[in-house]
Structure 1
Amino acid sequence: MENNKVIIVGFGTLLLQESLGDTVSGERKFTPIIVKNYRRLFNLLPDHYEADNRLRENYTEIGAANIEPAEGFEFNGLSFEANASDLENLDARERYYKRSVVPHYDFETGEALGMCHVYESPLDARWLIRDTDKLLPLWRDIVYARVGAYRISEAFGKMYDATTYLADGKTLMIDYYKEHLEALEDLDTVRTQYQK
């Protein structure tokens, strides 16, 4: 770690600065970036999540975002510097993932920015589910990520929608939730609900 800091990329709930602030403190410089040859999808079932049951009553709305290697795909995220203390806190929060090092690129220019750290779950992990009948995203996680993405810019938010899949890795999240877009922008209600 140069100067005891590394570059971390947030691609899910870490896109929302309030959510990141729940884990690490201090002012941050954020850079919108792209990671190539990875797909973002909601296929991770954390043990500590409690189902929403907003669209279904079968306790399957409980999935977290993940990324997996996928040739020809890409996703957008926010990069920021993390020191050793930040990494300890982030590693605890992202306990279902391993930290990997990958190249990243500037969102606006496409310029190579060097290497960064991302959190991805091992492909053989027991908590991965690839069936949308058995796993949908936790409502809070979609709201946090989408609101965070659209705060950066309209173009960044649209790329988030165009590169985020459900557990099957084929169905775009935005296509599944197209009738619920207004509710997916209601950050205040979701923050209040999950802080109880």
Structure 2
Amino acid sequence: MAPGFIVWMTGMSGAGKTTLSQALRARLSPSRAVEVLDGDEVRTWLTRGLGFSREDREENVRRIGHVARLLARHGVGVIVAAISPYRDARAEARRRAEEAGLAFIEVYLEAPLDVLIARDVKGLYQRALAGALPNFTGVSDPYEAPESPEVVVRSASESVTVGLERVLVALQARGL
């Protein structure tokens, strides 16, 4: 059985986490078990009832990390696509994965706020900027960018293909 791993994609809403995670799943799934834990789906099925306070967001990341570890220890390549705005919560997810002997690769999808606003088909940023959406990451609530992620994808200027290749190189470097 191939070893499991966790690729944790973080970035603000609209940065391209879901798009890149789907591309990575499509690339890896013909040769191994792969599962995507997408932040929107997780909030619907796994963490329904949690709000958007710092404590609830940290609990959301804790639960995602737990499920990711369970899957990865059974040989699944787990791709997490979640804003996960706080460094400490992401660091805890990494620490717990590594303590379990699992590879953890943090991928930061970076894009300037003006690009994210332009991409926002749901109008969330406009609503947040108008004060109608409290605790919105990157507007009225902080997003703490990773300090040393294994992979950085500048999604405003780099294609999904470029980002995908960077993640694949990181996986290959770890024999995954």
Between Structure 1 and Structure 2, which shows a larger proportion of helix residues?
2
Same fold per superposition (TM over 0.5): no
Between Structure 1 and Structure 2, which shows a larger proportion of strand residues?
1
Q: Report which structure shows greater RCO (CA 8 Å, sep ≥6).
A: 2
TM-score, normalised via structure 1 length:
0.26
